[in-house]
């Protein structure tokens, strides 16, 4: 994820009425033609949408004809016309090729997004069909479905790579992203605590490890094979059917040009390493082991479905993503400050757990 420090959101994660009204007008709806549904269904439990989605503001809209849409703002860290064009064309093309992406609606002017000037700045918002389904429950069927969906997704991304490159999407890599997230984590901790020796020690350790993993990845040809990637292919950005198959892939805000191993390892680490607080994307507890059986199963299913990655890259990339997610947890204060000393060697645990 490309993260810099963001300004305080005075709307607390909700899309302001003014932005929504302007957007819905661009999609041809009058003010009384629609309402917002603030509560969403997370596995039959009701939750306010701004508690679920913390980086990108969204609203679920219901029209008078009972049609449901998601209005989604392109987040602050990638907010530009160029990125909007890229992200939405990418999704549209994937859908055209038969991949499970909810339909993106065009404005009356035929654009894939609205540009709204509000509170003195430009905002880019798009509308997508609201896909009714279930959140990830970590069942075996769901995990296998993720592997199948990822393999299909990556084959399609490779096929349309040349089309997407024209949009000049951002280029990055897991090592750069992990470094940036570490910087954010350190900044947040230093701001909050007087004594920040622990974070500084972990920071130095983690930077050293990232460089090690990067060296190994370069030797194995990491930068020789790049294409559009999702950038945040974790189970919380997938919608499942009640049978456990992937109904839709959403949230392409972190899409970049990178090695496809990025998405595979993101999925692996999220599914096999980290634990989550119930019905949230927040981490719970320091990871103490890697579920190697689950990881093996995932990779086998992915391979069977003709996955395209270089498997030799898995350990060093997964370990780097582990550091990135640890840094995210620190930055969000998911872990107690006193637990930072327990974070050393988690990346080693992942590295050696996935080697072979």
Structure tokens at 146: 């993720």
Residue span binding other proteins (CB under 8 A) among the ranges 40-48, 98-106, 197-205, 345-353: 40-48
Measured between alpha carbons, how far is 346 from 146 in angstroms, rounded to an integer?
Answer: 24
Q: Which of 73, 53, 71 is nearest to 281 (CA)?
A: 53
- 301, 146 in Cβ contact below 8 A? no
Which window, 13-21, 82-90, 286-294, 320-328, contacts other proteins (CB under 8 A)? Answer: 13-21
Stretch that binds other proteins, among 60-68, 89-97, 153-161, 256-264 (CB under 8 A): 60-68
Q: Is residue 119 a contact point for other proteins (CB under 8 A)?
A: no
Q: Is 321 exposed, middle or buried (0-12, 13-18, 19+ CB in 10 A)?
A: buried
Binding to other proteins by residue 42, rule CB under 8 A? yes
Does 51 interact with other proteins (rule: CB under 8 A)? yes
- The stretch among 9-17, 80-88, 95-103, 163-171 that binds other proteins (CB under 8 A) is 9-17
Q: How many CB atoms lie within 10 A of CB 98?
A: 9
- Closest to other proteins by CB, 48 vs 159, is 48
Q: What is the pattern of x (binds other proteins, CB under 8 A) and - over residues 62-81?
A: x-----x-------------
Cβ–Cβ under 8 Å, residues 258 and 226: yes
Closest approach, Cβ 118 to other proteins, in A, equals: 14
- Please give the full DSSP string across 141-209, using - where no structure is assigned: HHHHHHHHHHHHHHHHHHHTHHHHHTT---B--HHHHHHHHHHHHHHHHHHH-S--HHHHHHHHHHHHH
CA neighbor of 180 nearest in space, from 3, 329, 319, 316: 3
Is residue 48 part of the contact set for other proteins (CB under 8 A)?
yes
Min dist CB 38 to other proteins, Å, is 5
Can residue 50 be called a binding residue for other proteins (CB under 8 A)?
Answer: yes
Contact with other proteins (CB under 8 A) among 7, 8, 46, 194:
46
Residue 11 is a binding residue for other proteins (CB under 8 A): yes
Strands 58-63 and 34-37: antiparallel
> For residues 268-287, which are near other proteins according to CB under 8 A?
279-280
**Residue 97 in tokens:** 């090729």
**Of the two residues 41 and 245, which places its CB atom closer to other proteins in the complex?**
41
- Does the protein bind other proteins through residue 53 (CB under 8 A)? no
Whole-number Å distance between alpha carbons of 300 and 302: 5
In whole angstroms, what is the distance from residue 135 CA to residue 311 CA? 28
Number of residues that bind other proteins (CB under 8 A): 27
Q: Report the residue from 5, 9, 28, 35 that binds other proteins according to the rule CB under 8 A.
A: 35
> Does the protein bind other proteins through residue 188 (CB under 8 A)?
no
Sign of CA dihedral 337, 339, 342, 347: negative
Query: Is the Cβ of residue 35 or residue 190 nearer to other proteins in the bound state?
Result: 35
* Residue 12 interacts with other proteins (CB under 8 A): yes or no: yes
Can you tell me which residue has the tokens 């990491």? 222
**What residue ranges bind other proteins (CB under 8 A)?**
11-14, 17, 20-21, 35-42, 44-48, 50-51, 60, 62, 68, 279-280
């Amino acid at each position: 994820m490309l993260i810099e420090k963001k300004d305080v959101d005075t709307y607390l994660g909700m899309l302001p009425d003014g932005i929504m009204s302007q957007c819905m007008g661009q999609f041809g709806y009058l003010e009384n033609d629609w309402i917002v549904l603030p509560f969403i269904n997370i596995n039959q439990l009701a939750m306010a949408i701004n508690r679920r989605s913390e980086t990108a503001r969204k609203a679920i809209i219901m029209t008078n004809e009972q049609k449901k849409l998601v209005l989604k703002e392109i987040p602050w860290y990638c907010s530009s016309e160029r990125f909007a064009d890229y992200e939405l064309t990418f999704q549209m093309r994937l859908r055209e090729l038969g991949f499970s992406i909810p339909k993106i609606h065009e404005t009356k002017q035929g654009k894939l997004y609205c540009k709204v000037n509000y509170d003195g700045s430009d905002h880019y918002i798009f509308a997508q069909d609201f896909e009714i389904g279930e959140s990830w429950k970590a069942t075996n069927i769901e995990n296998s479905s993720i592997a199948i969906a990822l393999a299909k997704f990556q084959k399609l991304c490779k096929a349309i790579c040349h089309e997407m490159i024209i949009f000049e999407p951002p280029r990055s890599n897991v090592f750069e992203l992990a470094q940036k997230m570490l910087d954010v984590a350190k900044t947040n901790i230093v701001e909050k605590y007087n004594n920040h020796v622990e974070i500084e020690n972990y920071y130095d350790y983690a930077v050293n490890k990232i460089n090690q993993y990067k060296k190994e990845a370069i030797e194995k040809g990491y930068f020789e094979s790049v294409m559009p990637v999702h950038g945040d292919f974790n189970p919380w950005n997938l919608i499942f059917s009640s049978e456990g198959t992937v109904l839709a892939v959403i949230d392409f805000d972190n899409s970049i040009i990178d090695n496809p191993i990025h998405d595979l390892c993101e999925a692996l680490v999220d599914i096999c390493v980290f634990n989550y607080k119930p019905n949230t994307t927040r981490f719970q507890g320091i990871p103490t082991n890697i579920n190697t059986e689950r990881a093996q199963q995932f990779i086998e299913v992915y391979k069977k479905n003709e996955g395209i990655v270089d498997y030799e890259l898995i350990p060093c990339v997964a370990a780097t993503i582990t550091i990135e997610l640890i840094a995210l947890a620190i930055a969000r204060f998911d872990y107690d400050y006193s637990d930072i000393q327990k974070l050393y060697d988690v990346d080693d645990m992942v590295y050696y757990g996935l080697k072979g």
